[in-house]
Amino acid sequence: MHLCDLEKKEYLNCLKTSGHKSEKCRHLSKRYLECRMEKNLMAKQDMTELGFGNLSQANLSGDKLEQL
């Protein structure tokens, strides 16, 4: 079907050029997963469940938990 090939190729190319450091390619990984969900190639999930939450929000939540 090759529905998200462009997104996959961009992500894989980014991995190759970054020395396989996935954190530098997170935006492309997110775009690839979003494409798969839009095309019904995988179940739709909130991106925070897939590890794409807002880091500053996560830090704030942790700070609030420590205060309790």
Q: For residue 67, how many C-alpha atoms fall within 13 Å in the half-sphere facing its CB?
A: 6
Q: What is the pLDDT of residues 1-55, one digit of tens each?
A: 799 999 999 999 999 999 999 999 999 999 999 999 999 999 999 999 999 886 4
Of residues 27, 18, 48, 47, the one with CA closest to residue 7: 27
Q: What's the confidence (pLDDT) of residue 21?
A: 94
3-state secondary structure of 23: helix
Structure tokens given for 17: 């050029």
Which residues have CB under 8 Å from 18's CB, separation 6+?
A: 24, 25
Q: What is residue 62's DSSP assignment? A: H
